[in-house]
Amino acid sequence: MMAAGTIAEKGKEVMILEKMSKPCLKLGITGKGRCNLTNLSDVNEIIEKFNSGGRFLKYALHEWSSRQLIDFFQTKGLKTKVERGNRVFPVSDKALEVVGILKDWVRTTGGVLLNNVEILEIVRSKDKVEAVKYRFQNKVFNQPCKNIVLATGGLSYPRTGSTGDGYQLAEKLGHNIVQPKPALVPLTTDSRSLILKDLKLKNIKAILWSNNKKVCEEFGELDFTDFGVDGPVILTMSTKVVKAVEKKEKIELSIDLKPALDNIQLKNRIIREIKQLGSREIIHLLKKLLPGKLADFYMEEMKIDKATKCTQFTAEQRKRLEAWLKNFQIKITGYRPIAEAIVTSGGVNLKEINPVTMESKLLSNLYIVGELLDIDAKTGGYNLQAAFSTGYVAGKAIGTK
């Protein structure tokens, strides 16, 4: 959409061929329906958030920065706000507002948007592409064209239309594909923690261990689900988990439930609470320190009799609780399928793409943009910014040809 509108603004004819009944189905569900549109950190910081493709994107991110993207949407009536970690959202908290603006822009600039049109093949002659073969209402058509921007996305959330078609289309034209894998994907755990389903933890520190070696740590939110764990902390760690699972390493998560307190402060806090609670049951102490579900979980894990009073809590039991609060361990058994990943890593090999224009180095009028490329970043609005920036530079290159 960004490429198409940019080309159309230069007065050139553009057609968007969209497989689904409407465009931007994925954009419409981003950020849990709120759309974390971009990130206001400076370009160098943004580049660091990419697991793959950060350096490749340097030119595009300067050429169409997050500031320019926000200005672009603001001039079209979108009010934006900045949240924790420089994340930018529409004030309305509605991703569909962003979709509506893009659709109106493409139409008013003269772009033609065709839905329910599935691209089957890109037809080439020597070093150029010359047409697309597409299916519409069970008939196959051939559409000649001067340039093609391939923007078919990755493999995650296939119900939005991103079913990985672009990998085959690009491969057939001679491009190499770095194997697509899930990135930003929820993780599965052993059955022990499934009982915590629906529990959401905030302000925790999680440390990822692989074969007993510390891999990384993250601070923030973590959600328990009916298969394991999800949420920003988990998604950020997941790319490393995918690699560790492939190497068949033993993976564990250690959660510090009280990262704001050091060991002494935590000990003093618990002693103070015990004194105040006196002869009340131990569950009341736990509920002062933990969400109810986790307090019940601890009682069961440690096989503490419900009738135990705070006054009966031994020093040894207190020390065990302190240690557990600082190091609640969860066994990670794997990750969810690519269809459930927020982003797909891998894709068209970046060595075969001109980073200034997104033009293929194999075919001079083919442009490849967005998640179809071998780029993927952490959560925070970086993936959409990459799609918009690459779309913009491709559109500009074609528009000024």
Ligand X SMILES: Cc1cc2nc3c(=O)[nH]c(=O)nc-3n(C[C@H](O)[C@H](O)[C@H](O)COP(=O)(O)OP(=O)(O)OC[C@H]3O[C@@H](n4cnc5c(N)ncnc54)[C@H](O)[C@@H]3O)c2cc1C
Site mask, ligand X, residues 336-355, x = CB under 6 A? ------xx------------
Supply angle C-alpha 91, 93, 97, rounded to 5. Answer: 90
Establish if 132 lies at the interface with ligand X (CB under 6 A): no
Pick the stretch among 46-54, 148-156, 173-181, 265-273 that binds ligand X (CB under 6 A). 148-156
Helix, strand or coil, per DSSP, at residue 93? coil
Instruction: From residue 224, give the alpha-carbon distance in Å to each of 43, 228, 230, 293.
Output: 33, 6, 6, 11
Under 8 Å between Cβ of 181 and 228: no
| Least distance in angstroms from the C-beta of 26 to ligand X | 4
* Distance of alpha carbon 303 from alpha carbon 341, whole angstroms: 37
Pick the stretch among 107-115, 161-169, 305-313, 392-400 that binds ligand X (CB under 6 A). 161-169
* Distance of alpha carbon 390 from alpha carbon 342, whole angstroms: 19
Supply angle C-alpha 216, 218, 219, rounded to 5. Answer: 160
Helix, strand or coil, per DSSP, at residue 49? coil
In degrees and rounded to multiples of 5, residue 150 shows phi and psi of -90, 120
| Least distance in angstroms from the C-beta of 109 to ligand X | 18
The residue from 99, 106, 119, 255 that contacts ligand X (CB under 6 A) is 119
Establish if 31 lies at the interface with ligand X (CB under 6 A): yes
The residue from 28, 347, 381, 399 that contacts ligand X (CB under 6 A) is 381
Under 8 Å between Cβ of 147 and 358: no
33-52: contacts with ligand X (CB under 6 A): 35-36
| Least distance in angstroms from the C-beta of 226 to ligand X | 18
| Least distance in angstroms from the C-beta of 370 to ligand X | 2
176-195: contacts with ligand X (CB under 6 A): none
Would you say 171 or 190 has its CB closer to ligand X? 171
* Distance of alpha carbon 5 from alpha carbon 109, whole angstroms: 6
**What tokens were used for 377?**
């970043």
The residue from 6, 65, 162, 360 that contacts ligand X (CB under 6 A) is 162
Would you say 251 or 375 has its CB closer to ligand X? 375
The residue from 180, 186, 220, 370 that contacts ligand X (CB under 6 A) is 370
Q: How far is Cα of residue 24 from the mean position of the Cα atoms in its chain?
A: 16
| Least distance in angstroms from the C-beta of 340 to ligand X | 9
Radius of gyration of the chain from its Cα atoms, rounded to whole angstroms? 25
11-30: contacts with ligand X (CB under 6 A): 17-20, 23, 25-27, 29-30
Pick the stretch among 170-178, 215-223, 307-315, 377-385 that binds ligand X (CB under 6 A). 377-385
* Distance of alpha carbon 287 from alpha carbon 293, whole angstroms: 9
# chain residues binding ligand X, by CB under 6 A: 33
Establish if 360 lies at the interface with ligand X (CB under 6 A): no
Write the DSSP assignment of 160-193 as a string of letters: GT-SSHHHHHHHHTT--EEEEEEES--EEE-GGG
Would you say 30 or 210 has its CB closer to ligand X? 30
| Least distance in angstroms from the C-beta of 155 to ligand X | 9
Would you say 30 or 365 has its CB closer to ligand X? 30
| Least distance in angstroms from the C-beta of 115 to ligand X | 9
Establish if 151 lies at the interface with ligand X (CB under 6 A): yes
The residue from 65, 97, 150, 165 that contacts ligand X (CB under 6 A) is 165
Name the percent of the chain in helix, strand, coil, to the closest 5: 40, 30, 30
| Least distance in angstroms from the C-beta of 374 to ligand X | 12
Residue 8 identity: A
Establish if 383 lies at the interface with ligand X (CB under 6 A): yes
In degrees and rounded to multiples of 5, residue 64 shows phi and psi of -135, 80
* Distance of alpha carbon 239 from alpha carbon 182, whole angstroms: 8
* Beta carbons within 8 Å of 303's beta carbon, 6+ residues apart: none
Establish if 378 lies at the interface with ligand X (CB under 6 A): no
Pick the stretch among 153-161, 275-283, 295-303, 331-339 that binds ligand X (CB under 6 A). 153-161
Alpha helices (runs of H) in 176-314, residue ranges in sequence order? 232-246, 263-277, 282-289, 292-301
Task: By CB under 6 A, name the binding residues for ligand X.
Answer: 17-20, 23, 25-27, 29-31, 35-36, 118-119, 151-153, 156-157, 161-162, 165, 342-343, 370-372, 381-384, 387
